[in-house]
Structure 1
Amino acid sequence: MAVSVVLYTADLRLHDHPPLRAASAGGRQVVPLFVRDRGVSDAGFAVPNRLAFLADCLRDLDAGLRERGGHLVVRCGDVVEEVCRVAAEADADEVHMAADVSGYANRRERRLRRALAADGRQLRVHDTVTTVVAPGALTPAASDHFAVFTPYFRHWSAQQPRDALGAPRSVRVPDGIASERLPSRAALSGVSAGLAVGGEAAARKRLGAWLRSGLAQYAERHDDLAGDATSRLSPHLHFGTLSPVELAHRVRGAGGSGAEAFVRQLAWRDFHRQVLAARPAAAGADYRTRHDRWRSGRAAEEDVEAWRAGRTGYPVIDAAMRQLRHEGWMHNRGRLLTASFLTKTLYIDWRVGARHFLDLLVDGDVADNQLNWQWVAGTGTDTRPGRVLNPVAQGRRHDPGGAYVRRWVPELAGVAGAAVHEPWKLRGADRAGASAYPDPIVDLADGRARFAQARSQGGTALHINKK
């Protein structure tokens, strides 16, 4: 009986899974395999929130496979060594996996292809498993990738995605392939108290509810911080418990302005992946350098610590940072505001903020996290690198009643209305009631002036006294 191995990575689902469909074609037996990659741990990316969500995903995937007569095989170690070992144990002649875009993933794929070929086995890599349009499928005339989103989106929108595949009715797994025990969220420490549940079942339940009650208003409400009107599907897209191709089809099928706005966000996700695929160094280096000489030293470290702790004195910034720590997730508008504040108001290296996000975000991945941070810092693909988001104006616009701030900053729970965005202006009993909340760590005008002068002088950072 012919046997295939399906190597699961960031595609932990049964619905719309091209590698699984191809691997089981012709009645083949399949070994569904997940390797707990030691390289990911060594690189510092195996953080509690993502490990907890991953544990949920693996248990749910195993349960889905068992409903179909199979089960998940879990191994731990070097991916190439473990895949080759399992392929040999099962006498498999081919391994199927989804394409990925990071430099690490590409190096892993090349190593695996060589190792399997040396054993007389074949690696088959499938596109559009974790993207709607494959990286590199769309290119401008004079480059290997699009550096500006608008023309990319125009070409992306003209593509017809492949049809979504149904989940298999049965999965036949050969006997005798040993597996480690499935990991458990309960065994982990340091997990955010409000972390969402992972797994394909949870993903499909959330998708159905959101299509019914959230999508239609998405265009008007996606920046509403207090309303929490985004889909919250990003963790499921990151772990692949939800197919972006299926998601695009279902959203487009719903129609309307909300669908159009949401599909644009899926295009942004693909845009970042095609940038990183073409420029893997952008995971840690400026895509477009501005020759910044970011602030360092004790004062800068104190500012960073205040930012991480949600104690900057700017309520909408602090609310977003506290949401991140509690949920392992942050509203997208909050991500933009906190990133702008760190990089442009405090003039701190974007990599400091990107690392903190990756330490906590359940949906943190290299493409979206690093390239979004660079977009905000003005060292990425943003065509307006000098834009600075004012946290007071943004708070009043996207949390006009102050409910989001009061939800996450209890020190200001007694401050009514939009006054919560400028607590330093309170007087008398109102100010006394908010006395536990800190004063701003920097004056916004001073921060903006420092940033503008630093960029105009090729990144020379100036000292500004705290206020």
Structure 2
Amino acid sequence: MGVPAVVLFTQDLRLHDHPALTAALHDSGTVVPLFVLEPPLLRRAARNRIAHLGEALADLRSGLRGIGGDLVLRRGDTAAEVLALARETGARTVHLSAGVSAFARRRLSDLRATGLEVRTHPGLTVVPPGALTPARGDHYKVFTPYWRAWEAAQRRELLPAPERLRLPEGTAPGELPDLADGADGAGTLAPDRVRGGEAPARERLRTWIGGGLADYGDRHDDLPGAATSHLSADLRFGCLSPLEAALRARDLPGGPEYVRQLAWRDFHHQVTAIFPEINTRDYRPRQREWRRDAGALAAWKEGRTGVPVVDAGMRQLLREGFMHNRTRMITAAFLTRTLRVHWREGAAHFDAHLTDGDVANEYGNWQWVAGTGNDTRPNRPFNPSRQARRFDPGGVYVRRYVSELADLPGVRAHTPWQEEGGVGGYPAPIADPGR
């Protein structure tokens, strides 16, 4: 039996294809799987993510116990808790997946300051951030050349889940916290949010591969069809390996189009690795003039703008802790381009409610829409009315989420203000939706 090694779980709450766990098991037969709950993070995170985290941790503990181990849970500062556990168990090495956010950087720096050997591993993306760089520069600033390099890049080996794991004798695993009600955190708990954990995530992947994937190329922007994978929260918490999702999908009908979306996810991670302030500063400052309009911002948050497709998206967010990607772009464009409200205001609201919210993808996409990010056409038109007619031509998506319009027939649900006498209880547009 070798010297114990600590595996610090972060955004990789799974057993399948876990490079850090595999490496620790290779180096030492005795592994201490650890997750640290940091109170400041719990207070800031969305209630939907906190509840999802609780379910994912319970599922991970169950999986580890099934192979003879356990998940050690501690509460406090991560570096301090890792060091305390290392001293308790005699571990000298800590393994973890490499993150890209400013918090992940600080955590890594604090861990290295403990004097322990710290080893980082891939696992949060298909291609590790920094593995691909252009001839000039430290990262790709535009997606298309990144996509070409990403497609040609060699993939690491997909790793199996471990069959057995031993925890050092006498190690107290700690109590699993009850996070189901999201008592801490921001926003409200969505009644229809997706359940967290590796087991349900793998079932969702099986269902997606065997069903919806084939139509993805033709239907991924179909708002009423909801024909996307709904795996974003599973990928955000690492309950699914993005590499496994890419490898399983790539050669199937619909696979290339879906895998391209995973490449977009990797793209935002490699940008954030170089620019970790992506959630606070403009990636490409454009000297835009932003407006402060508390009333318009509140109407947008509540889904009361009077623009049905915008309101449907915002209400889906509150109901499910999720929003279709097309509607994310529509709602973000309406706030930043039509209302001229700063992208940070909208991103903060999304961050308070999205189960799948993370720094790289959430804020990278917000800046792309706002014209301060990686879009090479920062002033491209984005008309919500035209988007609605194109992607929800029968008004089905709108009527699903905007109850006041449920009885309006067909496409007229997109223009309720044109109804004679209006629609009771539904507001007139707060801004011209044709802009």
Q: Distance in 2 between matches of 1:444 and 1:21?
A: 52
Question: Equivalent residue for 1:267?
Answer: 263
Question: Equivalent residue for 2:22?
Answer: 21
Amino acid corresponding to residue 333 of structure 2 in structure 1: S
Give a deviation string over 1:294-315, Cα, whole Å, max 9, x none.
Answer: 101xxx1100000000000000
Q: Is the 8 A contact 1:68 1:171 kept in 2?
A: yes
The alignment partner of 1:57 has SS state of helix
Amino acid corresponding to residue 404 of structure 1 in structure 2: Y
Q: Which sections of structure 1, spanning at least 5 residues, go unmatched?
A: 449-467
Q: Is the 8 A contact 2:72 2:174 kept in 1?
A: yes
Which residues of 2 match residues 410-425 of structure 1 at below 5 A?
410-425=403-418
Question: Equivalent residue for 2:84?
Answer: 85
Shift of 1:163: 1.6
Q: Is the 8 A contact 1:39 1:78 kept in 2?
A: no
Q: Distance in 2 between matches of 1:421 and 1:444?
A: 10
The alignment partner of 2:250 has SS state of helix
Q: Distance in 1 between matches of 2:424 and 2:382?
A: 26
Give a deviation string over 1:172-200, Cα, whole Å, max 9, x none.
Answer: 11122223311234443441111110000
Q: Is the 8 A contact 1:16 1:243 kept in 2?
A: yes
Shift of 1:389: 1.6
- TM-score norm. by structure 2 comes to 0.97
Which residues of 2 match residues 2-401 of structure 1 at below 5 A?
2-25=3-26, 28-41=29-42, 44=44, 46-115=45-114, 117=115, 121-127=116-122, 129-189=123-183, 190-253=188-251, 255-256=252-253, 258-296=254-292, 300-401=293-394
Shift of 1:411: 0.3
Q: Distance in 1 between matches of 2:177 and 2:257?
A: 37
Q: Distance in 1 between matches of 2:288 and 2:229?
A: 35
Amino acid corresponding to residue 437 of structure 1 in structure 2: Y
Q: Distance in 2 between matches of 1:103 and 1:72?
A: 26
Q: Is the 8 A contact 2:6 2:32 kept in 1?
A: yes
Amino acid corresponding to residue 112 of structure 2 in structure 1: R
Amino acid corresponding to residue 29 of structure 2 in structure 1: R
Amino acid corresponding to residue 62 of structure 2 in structure 1: A
Shift of 1:37: 1.9
Q: Distance in 1 between matches of 2:408 and 2:216?
A: 29
Shift of 1:442: 1.0
- TM-score norm. by structure 1 comes to 0.90
Q: Is the 8 A contact 1:113 1:122 kept in 2?
A: yes
Shift of 1:103: 1.6
Question: Equivalent residue for 1:441?
Answer: 430
Q: Is the 8 A contact 1:276 1:283 kept in 2?
A: no
Amino acid corresponding to residue 401 of structure 2 in structure 1: W
Shift of 1:289: 0.8
Q: Distance in 2 between matches of 1:27 and 1:376?
A: 47
Query: Which stretches of structure 1, 4 residues or more, deviate above 4 A after TM superposition?
Result: none
Q: Is the 8 A contact 1:36 1:75 kept in 2?
A: yes
Q: Distance in 2 between matches of 1:170 and 1:205?
A: 23
Q: Is the 8 A contact 2:101 2:276 kept in 1?
A: yes
Q: Is the 8 A contact 1:192 1:326 kept in 2?
A: yes
Give a deviation string over 1:248-293, Cα, whole Å, max 9, x none.
Answer: 110114x23x111111000000000100111112221001111122
- Count matched residues: 430
The alignment partner of 2:35 has SS state of strand
Amino acid corresponding to residue 58 of structure 1 in structure 2: L
Give a deviation string over 1:294-337, Cα, whole Å, max 9, x none.
Answer: 101xxx11000000000000001000000000110100011000
Percent of pairs with identical residues:
53
Shift of 1:27: 5.3
The alignment partner of 2:52 has SS state of helix
CA RMSD of aligned residues (A): 1.2
**In terms of mean alpha carbon deviation, does 31-40 or 152-161 score higher?**
31-40
Q: Is the 8 A contact 2:181 2:189 kept in 1?
A: no
Amino acid corresponding to residue 162 of structure 1 in structure 2: R
Q: Distance in 1 between matches of 2:216 and 2:48?
A: 27
Q: Is the 8 A contact 2:101 2:272 kept in 1?
A: yes
